[in-house]
Amino acid sequence: MLEATKPQNSPDRAPVNPALEAESKIARIAVTVFPILVVAAGIIGFLLPGVFKPIAPGVPYLLGIIMFCMGLTLTPPDFAAVAKRPWAVALGIVAHYIIMPGAGWLIAGALNLEPELAVGVILVGCAPSGTASNVMAFLAKGDVALSVAVASVSTLIAPIVTPLLVLFLAGSYLQIDAAGMVLDIVKTVLLPVVAGLLARLFLKKLVAKVLPALPWASAVVISLIVAIVVAGSASKIISAGAIVFLAVLLHNGFGLGLGYLAGKLGRLDDKARRALAFEVGMQNSGLAATLATAHFTPLAALPSAVFSLWHNISGAIVAAWLARRPLQEKQANVPVKQA
């Protein structure tokens, strides 16, 4: 996750997290190269499953590294954005945890997926916002402060919301250990994020030096997770790959489109709508892969691996398209609720 700010030449610049400007060039490169790294990792994992299968137990620790990096990017202004615009943030959270889980459940049923794949698709939908969503919002000229706020809150409430949603929507496919999921998410998501946040508060100079490298660190670690997940289900990828890709394509597409629509129905301005498109449509697929690997089968983690690849490609494409479209004028006579 990168940090929220507005470009220096923005007439309505807000005093929010300033680091993104310095990192934006690196972030653009990372977003461009990231899908290539993930594809390469997937191919290597498929061709050399024996190399990556033995390190599957390390996936939770790898996710912990990603979430620690996320925590390092958070600052008090990011949380202040929640208090300043509770309506917009609440809308983003509700849209995220209704649209994506619901879409995953509908797609799994419509495509008649086998239980492991169905649970994998639903699990991706129940995950919090993806760590690259803020970058996409920035590139799309969206409201990055809102993007960071929604992603942060969705991550912090994930230990409760994600297991309950998985239990409710996927319980008819496989047995769900909701309590175990809560504990796993606390250990692999919540604690590393808090540790990163504390490090940012007390080790400011040291953290400032490593901030530009965080997009690359996250990209490399996520790619390694994808390689491990693909290696675990290599024997079934050829038969299941096409249907999984179709499910992921539909899932991500619904999320991006309906996320933007939710902002429009909520009467938010165009910058906020663009942010919500990515906050709804991009998932923390690393968490979904970790939970699928720990609680189900390697095949259940395959949708997460494919989603990790595709949502970064589609996100970059949509961000580039939106960046070329002029921002619509703010809605007249429609105040944004503030605290």
Spatial neighbors of 325 by CB under 8 A, at least 6 apart, are: none
Q: What's the Rg (C-alpha) of the chain? A: 19
What are 56's two structure tokens?
């599957």
pLDDT at 213 over 80: no
Domain ranges for the chain, please list them: 19-323
| pLDDT band per the 50, 70, 90 thresholds, residue 16 | very low
Q: Name the 3-class secondary structure at 129.
A: strand
In tens, the pLDDT along 313-334 reads: 888 888 888 888 888 765 444 4
Average pLDDT, the chain: 82
Percent of the chain residues topping a pLDDT of 90: 28
One DSSP character per residue, 234-291 reads HHHHHHHHHHHHHHHHHHHHHHHHHHHHHHHHTT--HHHHHHHHHHHH-B-HHHHHHH
Which of the listed ranges 10-24, 155-169, 298-312 does the model predict with the highest average pLDDT?
A: 155-169
In tens, the pLDDT along 258-270 reads: 999 999 999 998 9
Instruction: Give residue 330's identity as a one-letter amino acid code.
Output: K
One DSSP character per residue, 92-157 reads HHHHHHHHHHHHHHHHHHHTT--HHHHHHHHHHHHS-B-TTHHHHHHHTT--HHHHHHHHHHHHHT
CB atoms within 10 A of CB 291: 31
pTM listed for this prediction: 0.80
In tens, the pLDDT along 66-84 reads: 888 888 877 777 677 677 7
Within 13 Å, how many C-alpha atoms sit on residue 231's CB side? Answer: 22
In tens, the pLDDT along 97-122 reads: 999 999 999 999 999 999 999 999 99
Identify the residue with better confidence: 169 or 134: 169
pLDDT of residue 333: 41
As its CATH architecture, domain 19-323 has Up-down Bundle (1.20)
Identify the residue with better confidence: 63 or 110: 110
| pLDDT band per the 50, 70, 90 thresholds, residue 30 | low
| pLDDT band per the 50, 70, 90 thresholds, residue 163 | very high
| pLDDT band per the 50, 70, 90 thresholds, residue 149 | confident
In tens, the pLDDT along 37-53 reads: 878 888 898 888 888 88
